Every structure is written in C-alpha cells, then in structure tokens.
C-alpha cells in the first residue's frame, strides 16, 4: 500500500511539473457529463489559471442545465470538428476510464500530445503519459483537489463549490459506499471556505423540469422485478427522450435502490433507436463493474454503465443472463 501511495503521489508531482512546464492544454471528460466530471474540468482549469496557462475545455456533449450555477461553466465548449482549430500540447482527460469514453474529442488529439489521465474508476486502462488513478477516492474531483493543494493554488468560494459539488454528486449525496472519512473531511473544509450545501443541493436536486418529471414517471411505469425481486429494471424509449431536449435522466436508476429486496438495479435509456445506454447500481455484493465489462462498459463496483444495441427486450434478456451468474442460488 505504501508503494502504491508513493507512486500515486509521485504521479501527482509529475503532473504538477508538466502543468508548470507546458502550455496549450485541452481539458475534457466523458460523454454524458455528471457533477463530478463537470466539477473536475472546472477545477483543473482553475489550476491552469493559477499558472497563467492557455487552455480550452472541450466536451462532446452538452452540460445539463442544473450545473449552470457553477462559476466558469460557460467556458466549456461543445465539440464541433468543423470549427475546431486549437492545437494542444497537453490533453487532460478527467473521470474517464478510456479514451473511447470522451466521444469525438478523441479524434482530434494530436499524435504527439502528452496525455494526463486522472480518474477513480477501477476499469481505467492507463492510457496516459501520466496516470493518476485512485479507485479508493470518492471522485475524480477529490484527486484533482489534492493536485490543487500540491500546486499551492488559492482556495475560494468558487473552488470550494466545485469540490463539494463533485464529491456530493459522485457519492450519491453521501449515500454510496465510496463516501469516506477523507471525502467528508474535504467537504467540511469546503463549507468552511464558502460552499453552501443547501444552495448546491437545491440547484442540482430541486430544479427538475416538468418534462424530466414526466419522463421519470414514464420510466418508473416500466418497472419490472426479476429473480424474486433481487434485480429491478426500468427503461425509457427514444421517442420520449428525443421529443424534448429538457429531459435529464441522470439519477433515474437510483430510484430503484429504494426497494428493500433489490440488490441490482439497471436503467435502459434508448439514446437512439435500438441503441441503449445502460446504467447499473448495486447495494452490497454484486460487482456491477464486472457486469458492465461483459458489454464493453465499466465503472465502479457499485455503479457502472455500458452501451448496447438491440431492442429493449433483447437487451434486458442479455443482461439478466449475465446477472444470473453473479447471483447466489439463481
């Protein structure tokens, strides 16, 4: 453990040296950005600002409206290849287990660019020149905050809000097993520096659009239980998703965790006709990262995801066949 921690700290030091030495950075994260990934890109940008570096934050997806309260979020650029001209020396990939997770941004990474890879997924494939990977951390933003401290960057209310937001979102409002003493201690420190738990929570969890609430109702109406209630599932068809751009499905799968008997939960979102994004959750003993890997996805032990092509019934049956092998006496 000491050797592993030394390597991790050494990598953070090398990333700091890279930031100090280089210029022209591209910061990106995974498609379907969440609170941790958005907070992470903004926090890393603040480190670059501290050193007076040139950078661009480029994502292959739109930012959910509920994160518009974060300072600097308007700096984030949505990828459009025909208008892209920035040539980065360093590419910073945050909260993504592989380059395939950053969408079309992968296509414009210069062959000679240095890649900084900061992540907390156990499924990370170590694709960077510098790989700061710490699955024991609550979130990617927690790792970047350690780098922030190492760089002696000034802490402000805006920075504190980034860190608190990222940790709160990735720990499921401090309900998930990745909630640790360290993550709670950092959040307490962020409150000391001006982060407001009530304002952050209100912005993220109490601003659901009517369209999103109706979509949630539709998804929950498809609720099914499998293997005597040990597994539960819901889905949302593409016609509902494509009919309104204000629908935010992040967290839909978490509603299934309220069922007492349910160990594994999955939500099938039809992003395009017959193309589904599947989100997995588990409570105690099933490693859903292993489940997602069966479909070329990945994530964490208790939260993971993948993309699968097919009809909703085909996909559901394929998932249940895999899950059956991971459930006792099924």
- What is the model's pLDDT at position 1? 54
- What's the predicted TM-score (pTM) here? 0.92
- What is the model's pLDDT at position 42? 98
Please give the radius of gyration of the chain, using alpha carbons only, rounded to the nearest integer: 20
Count: domains in the chain: 2
- What is the model's pLDDT at position 30? 95
CA distance 209 to 206: 9
- What is the model's pLDDT at position 246? 78
- What is the model's pLDDT at position 83? 58
- What is the model's pLDDT at position 82? 57
**What count of residues does the chain have?**
330
Q: Assess contact for 183 and 170: CB atoms under 8 A.
A: no
One domain, residues 109 and 189 = yes
How many CB atoms neighbour CB 314 within 10 A?
13
From 204, 220, 255, give the residue that closes a domain.
Answer: 204
- What is the model's pLDDT at position 239? 92
Could you tell me which of 30, 93, 4 has the C-alpha nearest to residue 304?
Answer: 30
CA distance 172 to 178: 9
Residues in CB range of 198: below 8 A, 6 or more apart: none
One domain, residues 256 and 128 = no
DSSP state of 256: G
Residue 235 sits in which domain range? 210-324
| H or E element, residue 309 | strand 303-309
Could you tell me which of 47, 297, 245 has the C-alpha nearest to residue 155?
Answer: 47
One domain, residues 240 and 293 = yes
Q: The domain spanning residue 235 has which CATH number?
A: 3.10.310.30
CA distance 34 to 117: 18
DSSP state of 243: T
Place of tokens 């920035």: 86
Pairing, β 90-94 against β 25-29: parallel
- What is the model's pLDDT at position 275? 97
One domain, residues 158 and 251 = no
Do the domain assignments include residue 186? yes
Query: Residue-wise pLDDT tens for the chain (330 aa)?
Result: 566 788 999 999 999 999 999 999 999 999 989 999 999 999 999 999 999 999 999 999 989 999 999 999 999 999 886 556 778 999 999 999 999 999 999 999 999 999 999 999 988 999 999 999 999 999 999 999 999 999 999 999 999 999 999 999 999 999 999 999 999 999 999 999 999 999 999 999 999 999 999 999 999 999 999 999 999 999 999 999 877 767 999 999 999 999 999 999 999 999 999 999 999 999 999 999 999 999 999 888 999 999 999 999 999 999 999 999 999 876
From 204, 238, 271, give the residue that closes a domain.
Answer: 204
Locate 211 and state its tokens: 């369209």
One domain, residues 102 and 189 = yes
The 3-state secondary structure of 194-225 reads CCCHHHHHHHHHCCCCHHHHHHHHHHHCCCEE
DSSP state of 233: E
Q: Assess contact for 315 and 268: CB atoms under 8 A.
A: yes
- What is the model's pLDDT at position 273? 96
DSSP state of 317: H
Do the domain assignments include residue 329? no
Packing angle between helix 140-150 and helix 35-50, nearest 10 degrees? Answer: 10
One domain, residues 180 and 219 = no
From 204, 238, 270, give the residue that closes a domain.
Answer: 204
One domain, residues 192 and 220 = no
Q: Looking only at Cα atoms, what is the longest distance across the chain?
A: 59
């Amino acid at each position: 453990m000491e050797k592993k921690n030394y390597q991790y700290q050494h990598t953070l030091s090398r990333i700091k040296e890279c930031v100090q030495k280089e210029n022209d950075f591209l910061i990106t994260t995974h498609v379907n950005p969440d609170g941790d990934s958005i907070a992470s890109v903004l926090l890393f940008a603040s480190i670059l600002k501290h050193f007076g570096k040139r950078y661009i934050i480029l994502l292959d997806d739109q930012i959910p409206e509920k994160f518009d309260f974060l300072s600097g979020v308007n700096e984030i650029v949505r990828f459009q290849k025909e208008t892209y001209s920035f040539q980065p020396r360093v590419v910073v990939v945050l909260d993504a287990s592989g380059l395939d997770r950053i969408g079309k941004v992968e296509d414009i990474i210069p062959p000679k660019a240095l890649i900084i890879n900061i992540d907390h997924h156990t499924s990370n494939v170590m694709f960077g020149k510098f790989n700061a990977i710490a699955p024991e951390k609550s979130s990617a933003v927690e790792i970047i905050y350690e780098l922030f401290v190492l760089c002696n960057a000034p802490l402000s209310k805006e920075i504190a809000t980034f860190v608190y937001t990222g940790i709160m979102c990735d720990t499921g409002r401090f309900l998930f097993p990745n909630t640790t003493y360290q993550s709670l201690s950092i959040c307490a420190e962020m409150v000391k520096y001006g982060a407001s738990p009530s304002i952050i929570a209100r912005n993220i969890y109490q601003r659901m659009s009517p369209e999103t609430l109706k979509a949630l109702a539709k998804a929950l109406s498809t609720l099914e239980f499998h293997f005597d209630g040990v597994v539960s599932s819901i889905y949302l068809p593409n016609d509902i998703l494509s009919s309104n751009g204000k629908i935010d499905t992040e967290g839909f799968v978490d509603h299934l965790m309220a069922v007492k008997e349910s160990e594994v939960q999955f939500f099938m979102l039809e992003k395009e006709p017959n193309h589904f994004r599947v989100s997995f959750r588990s409570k105690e003993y099933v490693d859903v990262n292993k489940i997602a890997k069966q479909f070329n996805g990945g994530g964490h032990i208790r939260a993971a995801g993948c993309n699968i092509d097919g009809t909703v019934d085909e996909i559901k049956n394929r998932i249940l066949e895999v899950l059956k092998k991971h459930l006792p006496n099924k």
